[in-house]
Amino acid sequence: MTVRFSLLSAGYCLNHEHLSLAGGRRVAIKFPAMVGLIEHPQAGPVLFDTGYANHFFDETRGFPGNIYAKITPVFYNEDESIARQLLARGIQPADVSLVILSHFHADHVAGAKDFPNARFVCYEGSYRKLRTMNRVRALTHAYLPGLLPKDFESRTTALEQGLRVELPEKFRPFTEGIDLFGDRSVIAVDLPGHALGHFGVLVDAAPRPYFLVGDACWHSRSYREDLMPHWLPQRIVFSDRQAYRESLHRMHELHQGNQDLIIVPSHCGEIYDALVTH
Ligand SMILES: [Zn+2]
Least confident of 45-49, 69-73, 85-89, 112-116: 69-73
**CA 244 / ligand 1 centre spacing (Å):** 12
Region 124-136: mean pLDDT is 92
**CA 134 / ligand 1 centre spacing (Å):** 19
User: What percentage of the chain reaches a pLDDT higher than 70?
Assistant: 100
**CA 195 / ligand 1 centre spacing (Å):** 6
Predicted confidence band at 9 (pLDDT cuts at 50, 70, 90)? very high
Predicted confidence band at 1 (pLDDT cuts at 50, 70, 90)? confident
**CA 65 / ligand 1 centre spacing (Å):** 16
pLDDT tens digit sequence for 11-20: 999 988 888 8
**CA 49 / ligand 1 centre spacing (Å):** 11
* Domain, as residue range, for 35: 4-275
**CA 228 / ligand 1 centre spacing (Å):** 15
**CA 241 / ligand 1 centre spacing (Å):** 13
**CA 59 / ligand 1 centre spacing (Å):** 17
**69 has pLDDT over 90:** no
pLDDT of residue 235: 82
**CA 88 / ligand 1 centre spacing (Å):** 27
Q: Which residues pair with 200 in a beta bridge?
A: 189
**208 has pLDDT over 90:** yes
**Domain of residue 111, CATH code:** 3.60.15.10
In the DSSP assignment, the letter for residue 167 is P
Number of domains in the chain: 1
Region 24-39: mean pLDDT is 94
Predicted confidence band at 232 (pLDDT cuts at 50, 70, 90)? confident
Residue 273: count of CB within 10 angstroms of its CB: 9
Q: What letter represents residue 116's amino acid?
A: P
pLDDT of residue 18: 84
Predicted confidence band at 170 (pLDDT cuts at 50, 70, 90)? very high
pLDDT of residue 246: 98
For CA atoms 221, 254, 266, 125, give the dihedral sign.
Answer: negative
Q: For residues 115-124, b (16+ Cβ closer than 10 Å) or e, as one string? A: beebbbbbbb
**CA 237 / ligand 1 centre spacing (Å):** 8
Region 48-67: mean pLDDT is 90
Task: Identify the residue with better confidence: 66 or 175.
Answer: 175
Strands lying side by side in the sheet with 176-179:
163-166, 176-179, 186-190, 199-203, 210-214, 262-265
Mean pLDDT score across all residues of the chain: 94
Predicted confidence band at 65 (pLDDT cuts at 50, 70, 90)? confident
**139 has pLDDT over 90:** no
**CA 243 / ligand 1 centre spacing (Å):** 15
**CA 218 / ligand 1 centre spacing (Å):** 9
Predicted confidence band at 62 (pLDDT cuts at 50, 70, 90)? confident
Q: Which residues pair with 9 in a beta bridge?
A: 34
Region 54-77: mean pLDDT is 87
pLDDT of residue 53: 95
- Angle among Cα 113, 101, 139 to the nearest 5 degrees reads 75
Predicted confidence band at 22 (pLDDT cuts at 50, 70, 90)? confident
